[in-house]
Structure 1
Amino acid sequence: MAGPLTHRTLAAEPVLTSGNQVLVWIIAAVALAALGLAAVLVRQVLAADEGTDSMKKIAAAVQEGANAYLARQFRTLGIFAVAAFFLLMLLPADSLSQRIGRSIFFLVGAIFSAVTGYIGMWLAVRSNVRVAAAARAATPAPGEPAADLTTVSHRAMRIAFRTGGVVGMFTVGLGLLGASAVVLIYRADAPKVLEGFGFGAALLAMFMRVGGGIFTKAADVGADLVGKVEKGIPEDDPRNAATIADNVGDNVGDCAGMAADLFESYAVTLVAALILGKVTFGDSGLAFPLLIPAIGVITAMVGVFAVSPRRSDRSGMTAINRGFFISAVISLVGVAVAVYAYLPSSYADLKGVGADISTHHGDPRVLALVAVAIGIVLAAVIQQLTGYFTETSRRPVRDIGKSSLTGPATVVLSGISLGLESAVYSAVLIGLSVYGAFLLGGTSVWLALFAVALAGTGLLTTVGVIVAMDTFGPVSDNAQGIAEMSGDVHGEGAQVLTDLDAVGNTTKAITKGIAIATAVLAATALFGSFKEAVDTAVTKAHPSTSDARWLSLDISQPSNLVGLLFGAAVVFLFSGLAISAVSRSAGAVVYEVRRQFREHPGIMDGTELPEYGRVVDICTKDALRELATPGLLAVLAPVAVGFSLGVGSLASYLAGAIGAGTLMAVFLANSGGAWDNAKKLVEDGHYGGKGSEAHAATVIGDTVGDPFKDTAGPAINPLLKVMNLVALLIAPAVVKFSYGVDADLAVRIPVAVVAALIIVVAVYVSKRRGIAMDAGADGEGADGSPVGAYPSGSPAV
């Protein structure tokens, strides 16, 4: 894509035929069926036993804390949503109808993303105690009969995975329903309106990912540093004031945040596919990209129920892998049938396409099938690759565990080296997949970009099972925490939960890897959509010959190279801000937990209860306070680059962000996942077991990895898509005020300067905040404010 932006032959505006209208209605019905299955799974999960009164009490505290946090988060995000709604109305569009629809469906996308995240949290905090109760059946109270250990393990795992299945069905159901509704209502205008839908989903998901990630890891790091390292008590010991906040964080971060993240990946990939589908496949391009994920919805239903453990399974991961691969194979077969039943054998037979596409040689069915197959195969390979680097039974994690014998420094070094190495393999796989799909387009850039988007939809066919895998992790983690805090699950029952937690760590790492692959495919396809938007805007602007240099995407041009560097730099700054926020908040948690141990000595001997609610309050306030800076950076950085340096530099900025973001996200996710499971490996009795120096070393590694894998790493996924969507939305305005008859420096420069100034001020304010690590012995923060002196009111056990 080097050289000037070329003008394509514009096609006649596609209008949905009656046959395609019927197909989209059927797809909408499939989406509703997914929501219906979610309701069935909810009833199955809630029918399980909740365990003892003590377990119920702890679970209720976690539920109340998670609900309180999300309610406050949604109130905060509502301000951003309203502001974005009106700003979208100001951006150029072909008609008032498009502007209104784009803004309305921005809110719909944001609401659907919020609903997906909230449902994930709502059920997870009810499922966790049921999983713990199921495991308790292996070691019941005296006088109660003990159940078969294998049966107990399988029942606990089934409850946890079907909880994830509910979230998976909401993700695919709402994503497909929203996109189908836009196509049915707006038809030819659907791609422009879908930009708003995708932007709403991505923006809210990024905020939920960052906020939830800061909350969960501040509590987790604080709990580990004081509880495990300083006091030598277990991870979920009820004497630790941060335990409730830690369990709340698992739900608002890994459940709500990741569910919203995968929902926006689903929505944004559909947006990119439909925009490019309209350009390349005409009328069929507004229906076919919906057909592929609709098949995935059906296969996801099969996959969720296929995860049924067997006695012959080596571990819970075996059953999960089986369900995933069954779903993937059925999806590939279903797509092959759909492609050959729906698409013609020649591009000339596609209705509503331009001359440059209709004269293209080849079979559109082959392009579609191979592109989708690339996406499905990529998901399967990423799943195996990530599992290799993060499973406790594989050599990389065992090597980190062994390095604990020489102290925390070697644990940290080995984890960093593992993350860096694994990022290369993942980037190569994703890059080869993108390039392989691109080659399918032959001489047509637009067909090549559409093939990349179709590869993304192929990966979407596995999203239902992927989301279920992800939610399985925090549910298992919470179940172990509730069991340990209540003291009602011992022996073999406790080991069942430990094993499930280790599997959950792996599934979370795998889903992060696949989410990253989805983000890159979606961002690449959006890059193509950006090119289409620029081409259209250039045609209207009538640029002069002197503008050709600034319209060029040639990377040898200094302004474009600067844009590329800025894009990569934003990924680093965003990651640094997220990790720094966790560090500050975790420091506050450390001082609060230490204060409680110091001022209430009865906590350690069990005669006093900790003030759990104070830690929940600290994490809530810090997480919500830290949301603004990363969000402003993601939204305003493309504005500053585009209006100051031009559209070529903006395109380069996106390329730099995609490249750096891919490597950074995989590095952070895999390092953190490997450190976490290395700790589990030692806790299972290797290299000295719990309480040994090796254990302390792996706890340090896990603490470093917490903000890597659960805050900064996952937040890069929505960051990439938010920036691409902002660039796509502002592209017409950048072209209009930069080139041709309407060029106006009096508009461009003030917009760029204001955007840059807001970013600088936001980062400055963020860095000026007190760092709790600098607190003095009297418990005051660096800024003089009392650490932990936030008003209480959150739940206490």
Structure 2
Amino acid sequence: MAGHVHPYLSEHSPSLAAAILTDANRIIVIVVAVVALAALFVAQLLVRQVLAAGQGTDSMKRIAAAVQEGANAYLARQLRTLGIFAVVVFFLLLLLPADNWSQRAGRSLFFLVGALFSAATGYIGMRLAVRSNVRVAAAAREATPAPGEPEKDLAVVSRRAMKIAFRTGGVVGMFTVGLGLLGASCVVLVYTGDAPKVLEGFGLGAALIAMFMRVGGGIFTKAADVGADLVGKVEQGIPEDDPRNAATIADNVGDNVGDCAGMAADLFESYAVTLVAALILGTAAFGDSGLAFPLMVPAVGVITAMIGIFTVAPRRTDRSGMSAINRAFSISAVISLALVAAASFLYLPSSYADLAGVTDPAILAHGGDPRVLALVAVAVGIVLAALIQQLTGYFTETGRRPVRDIGKSALTGPATVVLTGIAIGLESAVYTALLIGLAVYGAFLLGGASITLALFAVALAGTGLLTTVGVIVAMDTFGPVSDNAQGIAEMSGDVTGAGAQVLTDLDAVGNTTKAITKGIAIATAVLAASALFGSYRDAIATAVADVGAGAGELTLSLNISQPNNLVGLILGAAVVFLFSGLAINAVSRSAGSVVYEVRRQFRERPGIMDYSEQPEYGRVVDICTKDALRELATPGLLAVLTPIAVGFSLGVGALGAFLAGAIGTGALMAVFLANSGGAWDNAKKLVEDGRHGGKGSDAHAATVIGDTVGDPFKDTAGPAINPLLKVMNLVALLIAPAVVRFSYGSDASAGVRTLVAVLALVVIVGAVYVSKRRSVAVGDEDGGGGAGDGSEKSPDPAVAS
């Protein structure tokens, strides 16, 4: 070797030895794969239970069919677009350095598998949700019996409606954990020692598709939602899901393509990437056992998720439906911890010296018990999930002080509603970030003097969070299904009185569950990203050893006092702000087009208000579809190309600082956006339930304004930051060897580095410039158009197909 490995890398990098999958471990991984298949089987059983429920009246069925048509059409167009992108990335991954051709081919192949599984999870979630929502509405309708029929027990009706909605989410949860665990198990079984490198492709595929589905679906759903609220509620004074509003079908379609498909794909990629980090670091920290134990923990979570999903049943003594969900979550978490304890003490040895394949002197000299480290690290993740659930519930539930404060502020107008919501969101982000930081640091301390063990403990904390993912996904899908059920009920006019109140209560609970899942998703992002830093250093150390770089090279150091690294840190934080701004602005542009279109229809078709004319729902669906797909490119290019631009221009040290800046800022920003949006939404529900003047009052109009501000916060920009962090971390991990090679190896070339960095920067600037040039078509007498250059006319009335 011509030089020495940089001191920081040589002292703090994980062991580079590859683990071997022994016969005993192979059997364990096969059992894990069988558990994954069992999750898919349980999902099929839940599908049958959900679809066995009644669908209500013919009017409800027609409305549900329209929502299904719009959701299927949008998602089909989106997946065709993303398919082209996935094929391009597949070939680009083949060009990146790897130890051998098998790793390159496997990485590219499982990139496609990860992308396919992520898309499938989202599609399955959407497809069942659009069939379940009408069944939830039909179940609630039983609370208002027809004349001559006996009164139904309201508690029984509410329990049945909630069970249908939550078990719909349970299907998505089972597919998330089943496909994620199945994919990771297959990689380990096929590639054994090369599995960590191949898993990088699997995680990137899941993360990329999730980010696109999250951003595209978020733009669609919130453009329709904001447009429907501003014209329907504020200007026309009609209810939220009134059939006279042309944006109502698009709004309900959006709930499914954004909150169901987008969030399901997002949580799947969180699952996949956390497993990737745990398996990569596990081989360095626990040797041969590191390929099996990180899979055993989420396999336990599959079993406990089944228990949690089937135990959700409201009791008469419960304060709200949230109490039943909290109870199921707690049961699942406690059982997970007990089973993980059993797995740790039965599978792992009592000494690090007895771990086969471990050669790192710092690990061998640790002196502790690996069983205790594993159990405590996993417990940290489980406790973190429980604490975030409670903290997020406090800031977003209708019965808690923060939401009540926003409701009171509505008495003085929309400005104070917006200010109070922002203040609550900012405050909640601090507490959540502190919890995540304490969890990361607590897990880190378990490693003692070994940085490898410390990082693996952080990764195991992430797998601890994974044990709750099945229930978490069910909680998330529960929200949009309840929201859609209320929309179908209101549009059909067939669910009134006590039945309508049942759906309103479920929708309020759904707003809280969605906020909770967003908080837990960002926690997994931070834990996974923190663990991936170890893999990032591993990649740098390997590349440096190969090319023989000198110890004095400043661009290899991760020391934050260096100006180039400080610049990287600032750029990482800036990307989160730019990404969030682009997403919110995209919603604003598209929502403006929806507003103009809905206004045009009310103006040109006066018979809409007295029900003598039918609104043209398809026009709004088409506007949202075109705008959402048009806006996908810029955020995606930003996520993929900014690490490339930073790495090739400032070096791998600055790239590491870039990731740190993005993680720190992203965690705060994502929680702020999610919690403020959730609090605004439930403050609106509070007023609509009769507080502070009720529906139609000035206070109601003020909370509607707050809710429209919060819509792109909580359902577009906020949740999209989670996959953004994962994508940037994985891209950095993949390009690090190439950056080192073109900086110090025999292929070193300042010209190549400059060319790559400039090309990436030009594409980023060009994409942002094109995005910023788009404007909302002004609402002239001829009607508005889609978001474009201002000259577009209204799209064809047909629903996109």
Superposition TM-score tier, normalisation by shorter sequence? over 0.9
Kindly state the Cα deviation for residue 158 of structure 1 after the two structures are TM-superposed: 0.3
1:429 aligns with 2:435: yes
Amino acid at match of 1:49: G
1:445 aligns with 2:448: no
1:373 aligns with 2:373: no
Alpha-carbon separation, structure 1, partners of 2:538 and 2:367: 22
1:6 aligns with 2:6: no
1:170-249 equivalent positions in 2, closer than 5 A: 170-249=175-254
The CA deviation string for residues 168-190 of structure 1, in whole angstroms up to 9 with x for no partner, is 00000000000000000000000
Alpha-carbon separation, structure 2, partners of 1:698 and 1:399: 12
Q: Which residue of 1 aligns with 2:424?
A: 418
The CA deviation string for residues 77-120 of structure 1, in whole angstroms up to 9 with x for no partner, is 01110110000000000011110000000000000000100010
Kindly state the Cα deviation for residue 143 of structure 1 after the two structures are TM-superposed: 4.0
Q: Which residue of 1 aligns with 2:306?
A: 301
1:499 aligns with 2:505: yes
Kindly state the Cα deviation for residue 542 of structure 1 after the two structures are TM-superposed: 0.4
Kindly state the Cα deviation for residue 787 of structure 1 after the two structures are TM-superposed: 5.6
1:131-530 equivalent positions in 2, closer than 5 A: 131-356=136-361, 357-530=363-536
1:668–1:709 CA contact under 8 A, matched in 2:
yes
Decide which moves more: 522-531 or 5-14: 5-14
The CA deviation string for residues 380-408 of structure 1, in whole angstroms up to 9 with x for no partner, is 00000000000000000000000000000
Kindly state the Cα deviation for residue 313 of structure 1 after the two structures are TM-superposed: 1.7
Identify which of 532, 538, 543 aligns with 1:537: 543
Kindly state the Cα deviation for residue 536 of structure 1 after the two structures are TM-superposed: 1.2
Identify which of 73, 79, 90 aligns with 1:74: 79
Identify which of 702, 706, 710 aligns with 2:707: 702
1:137–1:146 CA contact under 8 A, matched in 2:
no
The CA deviation string for residues 673-693 of structure 1, in whole angstroms up to 9 with x for no partner, is 000000000000000000000
Alpha-carbon separation, structure 2, partners of 1:398 and 1:718: 32
Alpha-carbon separation, structure 2, partners of 1:214 and 1:732: 36
The CA deviation string for residues 314-340 of structure 1, in whole angstroms up to 9 with x for no partner, is 210110000000000000000000000
The CA deviation string for residues 693-751 of structure 1, in whole angstroms up to 9 with x for no partner, is 00000000000000000000000000000000000010110111112443221221101
Amino acid at match of 2:246: A
Q: Closer, same or farther in 2 for the Cα pair 1:311/1:46, shift >3 Å?
A: same
Identify which of 769, 773, 778 aligns with 1:768: 773
Kindly state the Cα deviation for residue 775 of structure 1 after the two structures are TM-superposed: 4.4
Kindly state the Cα deviation for residue 541 of structure 1 after the two structures are TM-superposed: 1.4
Alpha-carbon separation, structure 1, partners of 2:353 and 2:268: 35
Q: Which residue of 2 aligns with 1:551?
A: 556
Alpha-carbon separation, structure 2, partners of 1:128 and 1:210: 23
Alpha-carbon separation, structure 1, partners of 2:384 and 2:789: 51
Kindly state the Cα deviation for residue 13 of structure 1 after the two structures are TM-superposed: 2.7
Alpha-carbon separation, structure 1, partners of 2:745 and 2:106: 28
Aligned residues with identical type, % of pairs: 79
1:779–1:786 CA contact under 8 A, matched in 2:
no
Residue 9 of structure 2 aligns to a residue whose secondary structure is coil
1:123–1:163 CA contact under 8 A, matched in 2:
yes
Kindly state the Cα deviation for residue 157 of structure 1 after the two structures are TM-superposed: 0.3
Residue 85 of structure 1 aligns to a residue whose secondary structure is helix
Decide which moves more: 774-783 or 365-374: 774-783
Residue 10 of structure 2 aligns to a residue whose secondary structure is coil
Q: Which residue of 2 aligns with 1:86?
A: 91
Decide which moves more: 516-525 or 581-590: 516-525
Amino acid at match of 2:414: P
Q: Which residue of 2 aligns with 1:579?
A: 584
Kindly state the Cα deviation for residue 786 of structure 1 after the two structures are TM-superposed: 5.1
Residue 94 of structure 1 aligns to a residue whose secondary structure is coil
Amino acid at match of 1:358: L
Kindly state the Cα deviation for residue 791 of structure 1 after the two structures are TM-superposed: 2.1
Q: Which residue of 2 aligns with 1:681?
A: 686
2:426–2:672 CA contact under 8 A, matched in 1:
yes
Alpha-carbon separation, structure 1, partners of 2:789 and 2:418: 33
Amino acid at match of 1:360: H
Q: Which residue of 2 aligns with 1:632?
A: 637
Q: Closer, same or farther in 2 for the Cα pair 1:3/1:94, shift >3 Å?
A: closer
Identify which of 689, 694, 713 aligns with 2:718: 713
1:722-761 equivalent positions in 2, closer than 5 A: 722-761=727-766
Kindly state the Cα deviation for residue 147 of structure 1 after the two structures are TM-superposed: 1.9
Identify which of 663, 669, 680 aligns with 2:668: 663
Q: CA RMSD in A?
A: 1.4
Residue 742 of structure 1 aligns to a residue whose secondary structure is coil
Q: Which residue of 2 aligns with 1:25?
A: 30
Residue 8 of structure 2 aligns to a residue whose secondary structure is coil
2:404–2:683 CA contact under 8 A, matched in 1:
yes
The CA deviation string for residues 285-334 of structure 1, in whole angstroms up to 9 with x for no partner, is 01110000000000000000111122222210110000000000000000
Alpha-carbon separation, structure 2, partners of 1:103 and 1:576: 32
1:553–1:652 CA contact under 8 A, matched in 2:
yes
Alpha-carbon separation, structure 2, partners of 1:518 and 1:336: 21
Kindly state the Cα deviation for residue 477 of structure 1 after the two structures are TM-superposed: 0.2
1:542–1:741 CA contact under 8 A, matched in 2:
no
Alpha-carbon separation, structure 2, partners of 1:502 and 1:255: 17
Alpha-carbon separation, structure 2, partners of 1:9 and 1:684: 56
1:653 aligns with 2:681: no
2:643–2:655 CA contact under 8 A, matched in 1:
yes
Alpha-carbon separation, structure 2, partners of 1:11 and 1:519: 25
Q: Closer, same or farther in 2 for the Cα pair 1:652/1:11, shift >3 Å?
A: closer
Identify which of 49, 59, 63 aligns with 1:58: 63
2:773–2:789 CA contact under 8 A, matched in 1:
no
1:570 aligns with 2:578: no
Alpha-carbon separation, structure 2, partners of 1:446 and 1:262: 27
Residue 447 of structure 1 aligns to a residue whose secondary structure is helix
Decide which moves more: 371-380 or 737-746: 737-746
Task: Tell me the TM-score normalised to structure 2 length.
Answer: 0.98
Alpha-carbon separation, structure 2, partners of 1:724 and 1:783: 33
1:588–1:788 CA contact under 8 A, matched in 2:
no
Q: Which residue of 2 aligns with 1:779?
A: 783
Residue 286 of structure 2 aligns to a residue whose secondary structure is helix
Q: Which residue of 1 aligns with 2:3?
A: none
Decide which moves more: 346-355 or 675-684: 346-355
Q: Closer, same or farther in 2 for the Cα pair 1:768/1:500, shift >3 Å?
A: same
Decide which moves more: 723-732 or 11-20: 11-20
Alpha-carbon separation, structure 2, partners of 1:194 and 1:469: 28
Kindly state the Cα deviation for residue 790 of structure 1 after the two structures are TM-superposed: 1.2
